[in-house]
Amino acid sequence: DSGVTQTPKHLITATGQRVTLRCSPRSGDLSVYWYQQSLDQGLQFLIQYYNGEERAKGNILERFSAQQFPDLHSELNLSSLELGDSALYFCASSSRLAGGTDTQYFGPGTRLTVL
């Protein structure tokens, strides 16, 4: 158990809908990262937040957005869902922002299926 929790574990929805994935980082970790793992595109970095602020952005679609709240939990919002958005979405957390080694601890993931 990494200490990172993600809810829900599974989500099934229809095209065009909007969903919210939730992540609670390990106690004391200020950084939260979101990743998408799909069959055709592999593991892709989406976005990083540190103490409520966006710090790094990867291949995140405009239909996707994220935020980190004062209690440090984070939410990933996916809207206008398409079939291709079906994937396993991971959240990871770490203690550092930059400088030195930053080890990320991954949550169990949320499996999103878009029908």
Partner 1 sequence: AQTVTQSQPEMSVQEAETVTLSCTYDTSESNYYLFWYKQPPSRQMILVIRQEAYKQQNATENRFSVNFQKAAKSFSLKISDSQLGDTAMYFCAFMSIISGGFKTIFGAGTRLFVKA
Own/partner pairs, 48-52, CB within 8 angstroms, 24+ separation: 49/74, 50/97, 51/97
Single out the residue of 6, 21, 23, 33 in contact with partner 1 (rule: CB under 8 A): 33
Taking residues 50 to 79 in sequence order and writing x for each that binds partner 1 by CB under 8 A, - otherwise, the string is x----xx-x---------------------
Contact criterion met (CB below 8 Å) for 85 and 114: yes
Of 21-29, 44-52, 62-70, 71-79: span binding partner 1 (CB under 8 A): 44-52
Element at 1 (helix H, strand E): none
Q: Which is nearer to partner 1, 14 or 42 (CB)?
A: 42
Closest CA to 75 of 61, 60, 64: 64
| Tokens found for residue 49 | 């937040």
Q: Report the interface residues with partner 1, using CB under 8 A.
A: 2, 31, 33, 35, 42-45, 48, 50, 55-56, 58, 88, 90, 92, 94, 97-99, 101-106, 108-109
